[in-house]
């Protein structure tokens, strides 16, 4: 019996196995490093967001013109109106709505009053709005959430001090808009006044 074809087949199989094992040895450490880096970046981003939110103060007790600047960096305000809710996210609570345009498209922001308990209920309703296998929602510490519906519908939610901000954009993640917007509208503490206490006279 001629065993040559069998030997050749076994040789090819061993070469393939060696190739797979070698590739694993080469790529697995890189994948692990990439995973660790992604986790570290995620923790860093969330830590910075939490610190930012803790120091943020609204510009006024209720949304008015100061909450919607005409321009924020590359974004220009194109419309502002009252919002009756967000049907696509199962949210029926009224609030304020504005849209900003940049070269990347239109970014929408809605501001909805919500205390801590109301925030939890709203985020739960948003979570139930997911449709289809390609949709997903990730929550960060209960105060922020990332929602993607389908392939090109992106929403980020930030809850800060009894206000729920809902940022939405089609075709791109509105993440780059969030902090510039919140930074532009936040109230800054007034500069400390010079002491009115007279300086002691020099002898």
The boundaries of the domain holding residue 38 are 9-55
- For residue 174, which of 112, 123, 125, 104 has the smallest C-alpha distance? 104
Give buried/exposed letters for 177-186 (b at 16+ CB in 10 A, else e). Answer: bbeebbebbe
Q: What's the mean per-residue pLDDT of the chain? A: 81
**In a shared domain, residues 88 and 166:** yes
Going by the DSSP 8-state scheme, the letter that residue 137 receives in this structure is E
Q: What pTM does this model have?
A: 0.72
Domain CATH number, residue 154: 3.40.1000.20
**In a shared domain, residues 43 and 126:** no
Contact 181, 168 (CB under 8 A): no
Q: Which helix (H) or strand (E) holds 27?
A: helix 4-55
- Number of structural domains the chain divides into: 2
The pLDDT value recorded for residue 22 is: 67
**In a shared domain, residues 30 and 99:** no
Contact 74, 202 (CB under 8 A): no
**In a shared domain, residues 84 and 134:** yes
The pLDDT value recorded for residue 39 is: 43
**In a shared domain, residues 76 and 166:** yes
Q: Bridge partners of 75?
A: 72
Q: Bridge partners of 169?
A: 107, 154
**In a shared domain, residues 112 and 86:** yes
Per-residue model confidence as pLDDT tens digits over 108-144 = 999 999 999 999 999 888 887 765 566 888 888 789 9
**In a shared domain, residues 37 and 76:** no
Query: What sign results for the dihedral spanned by CA atoms 100, 79, 158, 170?
Result: negative
Contact 91, 117 (CB under 8 A): no
Per-residue model confidence as pLDDT tens digits over 24-76 = 676 666 545 544 543 444 457 778 989 999 999 999 999 999 999 999 999 99
């Amino acid at each position: 019996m001629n065993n040559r074809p069998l030997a050749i087949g076994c040789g090819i199989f061993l070469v393939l196995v060696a190739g797979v094992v070698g590739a694993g040895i080469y790529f697995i450490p890189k994948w692990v490093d990439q995973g660790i880096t992604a986790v570290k970046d995620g923790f860093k981003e969330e830590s910075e967001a939490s610190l930012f939110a803790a120091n943020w103060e609204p510009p006024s007790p209720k949304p008015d013109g100061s909450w919607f600047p005409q321009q924020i960096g590359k974004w220009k305000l194109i419309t502002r109106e009252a919002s009756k809710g967000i049907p696509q996210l199962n949210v029926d609570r009224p609030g304020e709505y504005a849209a900003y345009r940049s070269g990347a498209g239109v970014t929408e922001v809605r501001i909805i009053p919500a205390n801590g308990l109301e925030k939890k209920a709203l985020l739960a309703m948003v979570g139930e709005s997911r449709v289809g296998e390609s949709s997903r929602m990730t929550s960060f510490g209960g105060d922020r959430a990332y929602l993607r519906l389908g392939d090109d519908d992106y929403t980020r939610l930030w809850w800060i001090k009894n206000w729920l901000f809902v940022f939405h954009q089609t075709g791109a993640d509105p993440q780059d808009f969030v902090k510039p917007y919140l930074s532009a509208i936040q109230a800054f503490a007034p500069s400390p006044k010079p002491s009115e206490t007279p300086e002691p006279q020099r002898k």
